[in-house]
Amino acid sequence: MKLPEAAGLLLAFVARLITGAQGHWYGCPPKAEQRIYFANHQSHFDWVLIWAALPHDLRSATRPIAAREYWTATPLRHWITREVFNAVYVSRERSAEEDPLDPLMEALDHGDSLVIFPEGTRGHGSEPAPFKSGLHALALAFPQVHLIPAWIDNVQRVMPKGEVVPVPILCTVTFGAPVALQPGEERRAFLDRARLAVIALRHVR
């Protein structure tokens, strides 16, 4: 076993020890097909939680999005995102010649699955903020990729903003039924529908 793989297993173990990281597959089974998981975003811990909730085989083919400026700033951050998580780097600053979605499109062209947080930033309230348009663009460009909504519960209690050490509290990730872009559907209507699909998973028992 190589070092990144071992580090990944250790991280998943710690995440499970602290949060339980239970995945509830409510609307779809865990399956090795190309998918975009989209979820509510409340904490830095969200990605690790989804990743730990996935079955082991699916983890290597499922990639997070990382802000290039922050996650390549130190060697350790760069190593973790590159070697362990195989992250897709995105620039925060928008330049004229480059579309920020290009790296995501490239990863999807390779056949990888992605995890995205369409709110853009971490939310404060109990409801997720309106979704940004990236999800729509990806759905339009890759109609064959399944879009899976996910609701992450309780994670804001594990590590509130500004704290460094997580408190052990059980969290769950509920995965819902795939949402597909209807022919001729408006962008805003689709994004609102996707957001409601995420919120609906909160009350699933």
Partner 1 sequence: MDSLRSLAVEQQVALLFVTLFGLLTLTTLLALGRSLREREAAQQVRYERFRRDLRAVWTGAALFWIAWASGALVSTLLFGVLSFLALREFVTLTHTRRGDHRSLLLAFFVVLPVQYVLAATRLFNVFTVFIPVYVFLAIPVVSAFGNDPNRFLERTAKIQWGIMVCVYGMSHAPALLLLDLPGHAGRGAFLVLYLVLVVAAAQLAQEAASRRLRRRPVARAISRSFSWRAWGVGLAAGAAAGAALYWSTPFDPATALALGLVAGGAGTLGEFVMKALKRDAGVRSWSGKPSVTGAVGLLDRTAPLCFAAPVFFHSVRWHFGV
In this chain, which of 132, 146, 157, 193 binds partner 1, going by CB under 8 A?
A: 157
Judge contact between 103 and 89, C-beta under 8 A.
Answer: yes
Please tell me whether residue 154 binds partner 1 under the rule CB under 8 A: yes
Please tell me whether residue 125 binds partner 1 under the rule CB under 8 A: no
Please tell me whether residue 172 binds partner 1 under the rule CB under 8 A: yes
Options 114-122, 133-141, 150-158, 183-191: segment touching partner 1 (CB under 8 A): 150-158
In this chain, which of 97, 165, 183, 184 binds partner 1, going by CB under 8 A?
A: 165
Q: Segment 22-51, which members bind partner 1 (CB under 8 A)?
A: 22, 24
Closest CA to 23 of 148, 193, 159: 148
* Binding site residues, partner 1, CB under 8 A: 20, 22, 24, 153-154, 157, 160, 163, 165, 167-172, 174, 204-205
